[in-house]
Structure 1
Amino acid sequence: MSTAPDTTPGTAPGTAREPFPVVLAGARGHGRSHLVNIRRLERLGLVRLAGICELRPLDAQELDGFGEPEQSDDLGALLASTGARIAVVCTPIQTHTDLALIAARHGAHLLLEKPPAPSYAEFRRMADGVAAAGVACQIGFQSLGSHAVPAIRRLIEEGAIGELLGVGGAGAWVRDEAYFRRAPWAGRRKIGTVDVVDGALTNPLAHAVATALALAGSTRAEDVEFIETELLRANAIESDDTSCVRLLTTRGTQVSVAATLCAETSSDPYVVVHGSRGRITFWYKQDRVLLQRAGHGPEESVHGLTDLLENLVAHLADGTELLVPPEATGAFMRVVEAVRTAPDPTELPADAWHSEPGESAPRRVVHGIGGLVAASADTLSLYSELDAPWAPLTAKAVSR
């Protein structure tokens, strides 16, 4: 998606530019991180918070340091009254498409939280509508703002680890039962007839999937040949909390990701690029890379990070290329669609997990899941192909 640089009246080349007015839709929960980031960019003179869209207005304590921005539960009305140039949308998954299209109709450019939509059809409706409106849209996969991503792609293309054999992702996190009660849509596949698809692979550990696809050089919908999924749950929820996916790209590269929210202990998620003469491990929350290859000692590096809202502002100001336009998440949305259309997650038997105290509520721990997640990333295997005692219970689904 390309848009012309901003030509706000009263600004000329070489002169100071007025900050872009921003409206934030969804300022609590994860949205709080966007509020903090907007404050940072305000201090740099890049944006100003013009309005907040929330069902319940933020109080003075929540707005500390922001003055009194306009507040409303009607995004369209708020955009019209504030004249905001940018809308940051961090709302429940099933509302993303409609809110993005409201913003686009008002001429507001978008930072849209991941996952961009709960189905491929809703994703296409959003992406096509945004393109037709002529506004820019950035999808909030912050890991793709890491400077490590292009650095790893260069290493692969230069043959640093030989022939690319596959890419494996691993995410093992701890979430207690309160996590699945934090919102009405949490842990749901649907609300009534409306798709939500809030699963381990599609929301909390979605970055592992998107990052693995990016390192494989296969980010567009047409880059995916077929997808295998195995979805399970230990918690009393609709969606998966322990799952894995493996896909084949049109280049012939296998990409797998194993994820759980029922780990013994939380660990930093990572992606491993396997080559015929070495491997590259990327801990994407740390921007840390480890290169291991034949004939060399291990080489570790830490890379910078470009903030996605800051990148959107630069795109509007001077035409800087967007890092994560909608089309660059098409392959990820094929995975979301495969999860959405797969059979409901298999409930793990009671002897496959145990309960222990969590941060604010009990949590369920799947026995040995940390090792299985790591083994999947190392071997590009599904859980059913590893030695999990519950593996025969998994129902593999294939999507083309």
Structure 2
Amino acid sequence: MIGVGIIGLGLAVKPHALALRELEQAGVARVIGGHAPSAERRAAFAAAWGWPVFDSAAALLAQPGLDLVLILTPPRTHLPLAEQALAAGRHILVEKPVEWDAARAEALVQAARRAGRRAGVVFQHRFRPAALRLKQAIAEGALGEILSASASIRWWRDEAYFATPGRGMKARDGGGVLLTQAIHSIDLLLHLAGPVAGVRGIARTSPLRAIDTEDIAAAALRFASGAIGAVDATTVARPGFPERIEIAGTRGSAVLAAERLELHLAGAPAEVLDRGSAGGGGADPMAFDHGPHRAMIAEMLDAIAQGRDPANDIATGLPVQRLIEAWLASSASGREETP
């Protein structure tokens, strides 16, 4: 069994803990314990899950049998914590985004490479069954050449969400709706349709909350393949709606709404894979199934056991972060920018 520790016991911990509990039951992982600077959060974690807690990251990292560390803290803390874990000889799985900005994200990737440890990024949407089926169809050429690829993320976040100190502020989160919420769907769009060669974007902050990051954004995308598309992202769409990805090719089209996929291929009946449409787009950001987290962590454990890079290798988290920075730069310059 691979020993797992968790640093960061806030909002993001629940789906990871649910997944790890099931992986413990399956005999493939053992949770060594968790750490958060807050004594209150440590106590709540221990009470909820029954795992040990440690009052410092160093104490957790020193535990015998620890192989993998999940870093679930605010973005700007990822690099120093990752460096600390890597120096202790541990593999890492880092919550999205990789870091506060693309430069720090690249530094984290390079730190993992120098250390020779396995490093992954938390983009669990790639592991949803409907997304896996769509990825397979595209890889097999079932849609033909992709001509159009777009995404719409019309979510809602209420006052309680922004009540957490620093949430929605650049100093803590690095960005707003793009880097904090829509990043999952934008990453999945790139994962499916390939890299973007140019972006022309706009973004602004609504009067609904006192934050200094964007909560309304839209962009036109020019993919390296020649396909074009658009992305619309916001957290002001009350009460929140399932995020959508739509892809059209020379041989067919696909619509992915949260975990519901419709495939319409030339000469074939429509294929529907419906795992539900609740994706955490409403006031409760954690209202989603933890199954994709379990699949993602299980794949990471397999990668460690087999001595290979994980499917969600840390470097695969860089393209979406570069795209978001180019999008915001385009909003400021009024020109197309290159990610």
State the TM bucket, normalised to the shorter chain: 0.7 to 0.9
Residues 233-244 of structure 1 mapped to structure 2, 5 A cutoff: 233-234=205-206, 235=208, 236-244=210-218
How much does 1:230 deviate? 1.0
Separation (CA, whole Å) in 1 of partners of 2:64 and 2:49: 15
Q: Against the structure 1 CA distance between its residues 51 and 158, is the aligned structure 2 distance closer, same or farther, given a 3 Å change threshold?
A: closer
1:329 aligns with 2:317: yes
Contact 2:119 2:309 in 1 (8 A): no
Separation (CA, whole Å) in 2 of partners of 1:314 and 1:158: 25
Structure 2 partner of 1:187:
168
Could you tell me which of 228, 253, 256 is aligned with 2:230?
Answer: 256
Separation (CA, whole Å) in 1 of partners of 2:268 and 2:44: 54
Could you tell me which of 18, 29, 32 is aligned with 1:50?
Answer: 32
Q: Which amino acid aligns with 1:398?
A: E
Residues 101-140 of structure 1 mapped to structure 2, 5 A cutoff: 101-140=83-122
Any idea what SS the aligned residue of 1:307 has?
Answer: helix
Q: Which amino acid aligns with 1:171?
A: I
Contact 1:90 1:113 in 2 (8 A): yes
Separation (CA, whole Å) in 2 of partners of 1:135 and 1:85: 10
Structure 1 partner of 2:281:
none
Any idea what SS the aligned residue of 1:311 has?
Answer: helix
Separation (CA, whole Å) in 1 of partners of 2:315 and 2:44: 39
Residues 220-231 of structure 1 mapped to structure 2, 5 A cutoff: 224-231=196-203
How much does 1:277 deviate? 4.5
Structure 2 partner of 1:161:
143
How much does 1:228 deviate? 2.0
Separation (CA, whole Å) in 2 of partners of 1:113 and 1:40: 20
How much does 1:82 deviate? 4.4
Structure 1 partner of 2:181:
204
1:300 aligns with 2:269: no
How much does 1:169 deviate? 0.7
Any idea what SS the aligned residue of 2:177 has?
Answer: coil
Structure 2 partner of 1:71:
54
1:267 aligns with 2:205: no
Any idea what SS the aligned residue of 2:37 has?
Answer: coil
Q: Any idea what the Cα deviations from partners look like across 1:215-257, whole Å, max 9, x if unmatched?
A: 1033xxxxx4222221122133111111123332322222432
Separation (CA, whole Å) in 2 of partners of 1:165 and 1:328: 23
How much does 1:154 deviate? 3.8
Structure 2 partner of 1:214:
191
Q: Against the structure 1 CA distance between its residues 119 and 61, is the aligned structure 2 distance closer, same or farther, given a 3 Å change threshold?
A: closer
Separation (CA, whole Å) in 1 of partners of 2:49 and 2:246: 41
Q: Which amino acid aligns with 2:191?
A: A
Unaligned segments of structure 2, at least 5 residues: 276-290
How much does 1:60 deviate? 5.1
Structure 2 partner of 1:100:
82
1:281 aligns with 2:219: no
Structure 1 partner of 2:299:
311
Q: Which amino acid aligns with 1:327?
A: A
Q: Against the structure 1 CA distance between its residues 247 and 326, is the aligned structure 2 distance closer, same or farther, given a 3 Å change threshold?
A: farther
Separation (CA, whole Å) in 1 of partners of 2:266 and 2:30: 51
Residues 317-356 of structure 1 mapped to structure 2, 5 A cutoff: 317-319=305-307, 322-339=310-327, 341=329
Contact 1:118 1:336 in 2 (8 A): no
Deviating beyond 6 angstroms after TM superposition, the runs of 4 or more aligned structure 1 residues are: none
Moved more, 79-88 or 205-214: 79-88
Q: Against the structure 1 CA distance between its residues 47 and 183, is the aligned structure 2 distance closer, same or farther, given a 3 Å change threshold?
A: farther
Q: Against the structure 1 CA distance between its residues 135 and 159, is the aligned structure 2 distance closer, same or farther, given a 3 Å change threshold?
A: closer
Contact 1:49 1:66 in 2 (8 A): no
Q: Against the structure 1 CA distance between its residues 152 and 35, is the aligned structure 2 distance closer, same or farther, given a 3 Å change threshold?
A: closer
How much does 1:135 deviate? 0.7
Could you tell me which of 143, 153, 160 is aligned with 2:125?
Answer: 143
Q: Any idea what the Cα deviations from partners look like across 1:160-204, whole Å, max 9, x if unmatched?
A: 3343112101111111123222232x111236xxxx423112111
How much does 1:88 deviate? 0.4
Q: Which amino acid aligns with 1:71?
A: F
Any idea what SS the aligned residue of 1:201 has?
Answer: helix
How much does 1:319 deviate? 4.4
Residues 372-387 of structure 1 mapped to structure 2, 5 A cutoff: none
Any idea what SS the aligned residue of 2:201 has?
Answer: strand
TM-score, L = length of structure 1? 0.73
How much does 1:107 deviate? 1.1
Q: Which amino acid aligns with 1:268?
A: P
Q: Which amino acid aligns with 1:299?
A: E
Could you tell me which of 20, 27, 51 is aligned with 1:38?
Answer: 20
Structure 2 partner of 1:357:
none
How much does 1:97 deviate? 1.6
How much does 1:139 deviate? 0.5
Larger radius of gyration: 1
